[in-house]
């Protein structure tokens, strides 16, 4: 009798033991309904005040189980708002702030800062803005009008000499000095910011456009249009397909704006402005 | 495109926050209070601390873009992800209907044949 009782209860004991503190509410695979009523922020009492997100008194954690602590209040509030906006079902694919913060905190691929800089510099040699097409002449005109201001801005900011080309077989389009300048600029950021930078560059397919965005030269809508210049040109010729083109542009905009918010908040503490000039 | 002024950005952010058919009013959400606070605080600050003008406004615009694009993406996704039409729906586009089918009893498999 006792033996049977023990056998019956062991599965539930095993299940109880494996529920450690490291759950992230089981959000990874299936569709979860909103299980919390209220989202709030808590300050944890350290000298750079860190904020944590509370879903109904339970603290939010990354998929690997670390507590999410954010130093910037605006970012913490934006993240809380993101969780609050999930009406019935939790749609993780639209929560870009959450996903990006998880990646920067967790670093699941264990990428070092030098690896990140190398990846970004690899993109630079084949930057979209540098390779132009001269075939329809209106498109050539459009490229010159839209992308040349970006190049002149970057050349002015960094004293470099980026030039565009119409050929694909040009060697060393980006000269060594320019590469080193950009590399030095990139290594001045810390590793989470570089992860975000790489993310933006992968969405925009261009490092130079990312730098223009970081330096607030153009708005997010403008930059995302510039990165898809050829698509926009073809849309003006052949008309827009809403479920593909519109979807793509709002997707790019949402990802880039989320990433920019995190980048800005990582590199500027919005609430306290002590120094005289921001160098970013 | 014409860049939006601070006031329009503020109004649109409020609109986005309240348009989320949420269970609670946006006034309760802390983001609203924080943004209001930032707006009030940063108006005289920008000139005083030699910040690039409208730097915080850029961040506010970015947040607005984020909220708007999330909402639009959701709309597009729900509009266009209904899947393919069934045969009956496809026929109905041009006004046709599927033919009526009649249920009849199955013929026995081992039909013994005469002769």
Which of A80, A108, A136 is a domain's end point?
Answer: A108
CA dihedral A111, A114, A119, A121 (to 10 degrees): 160
Q: What is the pLDDT of residue A13?
A: 46
Q: Do A174 and A96 lie in a common domain?
A: no
Predicted confidence at residue A15, as pLDDT, reads: 46
Domain match, A47 and A163 both: no
Label residue B111 by pLDDT band (50, 70, 90).
low
Mean pLDDT for the stretch of residues B53-78: 85
What DSSP letter does each residue of A72-120 carry, written as one string?
-HHHHHHHHHHHHT--SB--GGG-HHHHHHHHHHH-TT---HHHHHHHH
pLDDT tens digits, B9-56 = 777 777 777 766 554 445 555 566 666 666 666 665 555 554 555 677
What pLDDT score does A249 carry?
94
List of chain A residues whose C-beta atoms are within 8 Å of the C-beta of residue B4: none
pLDDT for the residue B32? 61
Asked if A257 lies within 8 A of B56 by C-beta distance, the reply is: no
Mean pLDDT of all residues in A36-52: 81
Look at A39-53, A247-261, B67-81 and tell me which has the smallest mean pLDDT: A39-53
Domain span including residue A46:
2-108
Q: Which of residues 85-104 of B touch A (CB under 8 A)?
A: none
- The 10s digit of each residue's pLDDT in A82-100 is 888 888 888 888 899 999 9
Q: Are residues A129 and A247 in the same domain?
A: yes
User: Which chain B residues touch A250 with a CB distance below 8 Å?
Assistant: 69, 72-73, 76
> Which positions 26-65 of A are in contact with B (Cβ < 8 Å)?
37, 40-41
Mean predicted confidence (pLDDT) in A15-30: 52
Same domain, residue pair A141 and A61: no
What does the pLDDT read at residue B101?
84
Mean of the per-residue pLDDT values for chain A? Answer: 82
| Domain end position, chosen among A56, A91, A108 | A108
Q: How many domains, chain A?
A: 2
Co-location of A117 and A224 in the same domain:
yes
- ipTM score here? 0.81
Q: Is the minimum CB–CB distance between B28 and chain A shorter than 8 Å?
A: no
**Residues of A with Cβ-Cβ distance to B76 under 8 angstroms:** 242-243, 246-247, 250
Residues A121, A215, single domain; the answer is: yes
Contact B79 A247 (CB under 8 A): no
Q: Inter-chain contact B20–A87, Cβ cutoff 8 Å?
A: yes
The confidence score (pLDDT) of residue B26 equals 52
Q: Give the Å distances, CA to CA, from A167 to A149, A158, A170, A260, B43.
A: 20, 25, 6, 33, 48
Task: Answer whether residue A273 is part of any domain.
Answer: no
| Higher-confidence position of A46 and B103 | B103
Tell me: do A150 and A102 sit in the same domain.
no
Q: What mean pLDDT comes out for the span A3-10?
A: 49
CB contact under 8 A, A219 and B63: no
Q: Which chain A residue has the Cα nearest residue B81? A: A243
Say yes or no for a CB contact (<8 Å) between B69 and A257.
yes
If asked whether residues A127 and A228 sit together in one domain, one would say: yes
Distance between CA atoms of residues A227 and A152, nearest Å: 17
- Looking at the fold, whether A98 and A118 belong to one and the same domain comes out as no
Tell me whether residue A275 is in a domain: no
Domain limits of chain B?
Answer: 2-82
Does residue B1 carry a pLDDT above 50? no
Residue A276 lies in a domain: no
Same domain, A136 and A238: yes
Report how far residue B56's alpha carbon sits from residue A264's, in angstroms, rounded to the nearest whole number. Answer: 10
Together in a domain, A17 and A117: no
The pLDDT confidence band at residue A21, using thresholds 50, 70 and 90, is very low
Top-confidence residue, A65 or B20: A65
Please report whether residue A271 resides in a domain. no
Average pLDDT over residues A6-14: 47
**Residue A83 domain-assigned?**
yes
CB A212 within 8 A of CB A223: yes
Judge whether B61 is closer than 8 Å to chain A, CB to CB.
yes
Nearest-CA distance B93 → chain A (Å): 20
The confidence score (pLDDT) of residue B106 equals 82
* B65 closest CB neighbour out of A73, A221, A277: A221
CATH number at residue A140: 1.10.3580.10
Question: Per residue in A193-235, pLDDT tens?
Answer: 999 999 999 999 999 999 999 998 999 999 999 999 999 999 9
Token pair listed for A46 = 């350290």
Which CATH number do you get for residue A24? Answer: 3.30.2180.10
- Which is higher by pLDDT, A69 or B44? A69
Q: Which of A108, A132, A161 is a domain's end point?
A: A108
Give the gap in angstroms from C-alpha A4 to the nearest C-alpha of chain B.
49
pLDDT band at A269, cuts 50/70/90? low
Residues A207 and A182: their CA atoms lie apart, in Å, by 10
Q: Are residues A163 and A213 in the same domain?
A: yes
């Amino acid at each position: 009798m006792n033996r049977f009782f023990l056998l019956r209860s062991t599965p539930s004991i095993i299940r109880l033991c494996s529920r450690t503190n490291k759950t992230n509410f089981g959000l990874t695979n299936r569709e979860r309904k909103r299980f919390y009523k209220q989202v709030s922020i808590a300050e944890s009492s350290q000298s750079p005040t860190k904020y944590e997100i509370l879903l109904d008194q339970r603290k939010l954690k990354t998929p690997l189980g670390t507590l999410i602590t954010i130093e910037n209040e605006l970012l913490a509030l934006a993240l809380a708002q993101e969780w609050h906006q999930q009406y019935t079902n939790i749609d993780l694919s639209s929560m870009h702030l959450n996903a990006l913060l998880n990646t920067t905190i967790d670093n699941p691929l264990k990428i070092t800062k030098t690896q990140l800089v190398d990846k970004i510099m690899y993109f630079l040699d084949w930057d979209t803005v540098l390779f132009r097409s001269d075939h329809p002449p209106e498109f050539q005109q459009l490229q010159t009008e839209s992308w040349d201001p970006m190049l002149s801005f970057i050349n002015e900011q960094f004293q470099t000499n980026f030039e565009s080309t119409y050929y694909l077989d040009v060697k060393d389009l980006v000269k060594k000095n320019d590469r080193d300048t950009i590399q030095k600029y990139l290594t001045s950021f810390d590793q989470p910011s570089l992860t975000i930078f790489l993310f933006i560059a992968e969405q925009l397919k261009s490092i130079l456009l990312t730098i223009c965005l970081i330096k607030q030269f153009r708005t997010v809508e403008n930059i995302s249009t510039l990165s898809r210049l050829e698509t926009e040109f073809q849309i003006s010729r052949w008309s827009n397909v809403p479920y593909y083109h519109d979807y793509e542009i709002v997707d790019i905009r949402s990802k880039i704006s989320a990433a920019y918010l995190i980048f800005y908040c990582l590199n500027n503490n919005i609430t306290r402005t002590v120094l005289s000039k921001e160098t970013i | 495109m014409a860049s939006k002024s601070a006031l329009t950005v503020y109004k649109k952010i409020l609109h986005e926050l309240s348009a989320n058919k949420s269970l609670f009013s946006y006034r309760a959400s802390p983001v609203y209070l924080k943004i209001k606070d930032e707006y009030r605080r940063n108006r005289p600050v920008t000139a005083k601390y030699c910040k690039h003008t409208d730097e915080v406004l850029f961040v506010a615009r970015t947040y607005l873009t984020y909220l708007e694009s999330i909402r639009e993406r959701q709309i597009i996704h729900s509009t266009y992800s209904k899947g393919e039409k069934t045969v009956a729906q496809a026929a109905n586009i041009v006004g046709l209907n599927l033919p009526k089918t009649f249920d009849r009893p199955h013929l026995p498999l081992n039909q013994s044949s005469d002769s």
